[in-house]
Amino acid sequence: MKPILIAKNLTKSYAKGIFALNNVSFELDQGKVLVVMGPSGSGKSTLIRTINGLETFDKGELNILGIKIGSDNDERKIQKIRRRVGMVFQQFNLFPHLTILENITLAPIQVQKRQQKEAEEYGMYLLSQMGIESHSKKYPSQLSGGEQQRVAIARSLALKPELLLFDEPTSALDPERINEVLDEMRRLADQGMTMIVVTHEIKFAKEVSDQVLFIDSGKIIEISSPDVFFSNASHERSRKFLNQIN
């Protein structure tokens, strides 16, 4: 199968000798779920944000859905990638001045130039899939964190993306709200969505992911299947990390 994403030697440094990304290379096949783990400040957020151009990089090359971007960070190519890659943030980042449905239909109408009626119908369909269609006329502040995050997922799905990025999607949620979001993500994975997920949820990683990428100090320590990573991690650093979060 042809990989949907190829990262080659991605390197980014803030100051001399301090790397946010250090020669990061990996591939991701269509329909696969990659979980990115690592201690705080390890570069996992930087890595996932590089993929849709929210962060730039200094060296290396990214090939996403056949669009190649280099260290020149070509704005037009990044824009093309963003239209085909969705992102879900830790803080949801819903637009507080728009209703739930407007949050979802804004990009389809503005970016993909779809008819409002069509966009709204699809938006309602996405909301009903998540079981929150009754909230469509409300504003984000009227919803719980878990509901807001599900709206954020629906918002990124509205553009019918070919790759979804999740940057610690459950870290800002109350513990009892985490599962409702993880269940949606699980459902998407079952439907064959290609996903990259930065998370500390070991259960989710074990059950849903195809690969676990462990990163520390901007360097990939290992990429293994979840079975291997959680029971028999090949690196000392990975084992130490797993002991700490368990």
Partner 1 sequence: MSKNKKIFFQIVLMFALLGFTGILINNLIINLTRTDIGFKFNWLIKPASFSLAEHSLPYSPSDSYAWALFIGWINSLKVIISSLILATCIGTLIGFLRVGKNSFFRITTAGFITIVRQTPLLIQLMCWYFVGFLSIRNNTFLNIRNILNISNKGIEFFGLYLSSEFSALLLGLSIFSSAFIAEVIRGGIQSVPLGQWEAYRSLGISEKQGFFKIIIPQALPAFIPGLTSQYLNLAKNSTLAIAVGYSDIYAINDTIINQTGRAIECFIILLFSFLILNLLITKVMGIIDKSIMRSRI
Site for partner 1 in 90-119 (CB under 8 A): 91, 93-97, 106-107, 110-111
Determine the interface stretch with partner 1 among 34-42, 84-92, 128-136, 228-236 (rule: CB under 8 A): 84-92
Residue closest to 185 by CA, chosen among 110, 114, 130? 130
Indicate the residue among 135 and 155 with the shorter CB distance to partner 1: 155
Alpha-carbon torsion angle 103, 105, 109, 115, nearest 10: -150
Shortest spacing between CB 86 and partner 1, in angstroms: 7
Residues 6+ apart with CB under 8 A from 189: 33, 195, 208
Which residues make beta-bridge pairs with 166? 88, 197
Site for partner 1 contains 139 (CB under 8 A)? yes
Site for partner 1 contains 79 (CB under 8 A)? yes
Determine which residue in the list 40, 141, 243, 246 makes contact with partner 1, applying CB under 8 A: 141
Site for partner 1 contains 128 (CB under 8 A)? no
CA gap 128, 137 in Å, rounded? 13
Q: CA-CA distances (angstroms) from residue 23 to 43, 70, 126, 222?
A: 12, 14, 38, 13
Shortest spacing between CB 82 and partner 1, in angstroms: 4
Determine which residue in the list 32, 150, 155, 177 makes contact with partner 1, applying CB under 8 A: 155
Q: Would you give the binding string for partner 1 spanning residues 221-240, x where CB under 8 A is met?
A: --------------------
Site for partner 1 contains 52 (CB under 8 A)? yes
Determine which residue in the list 12, 32, 44, 82 makes contact with partner 1, applying CB under 8 A: 82
- Judged by DSSP in three states, 218 sits in coil
Q: Tokens representing 110?
A: 């503005």
Which residues make beta-bridge pairs with 197? 35, 166
Contact assessment for residue 208 and residue 33, using Cβ atoms and an 8 Å cutoff = yes
CA gap 162, 181 in Å, rounded? 20
Residue ranges that bind partner 1, judged by CB under 8 A: 52-54, 79, 82-83, 85-87, 89, 91, 93-97, 106-107, 110-111, 139, 141, 155-156, 159
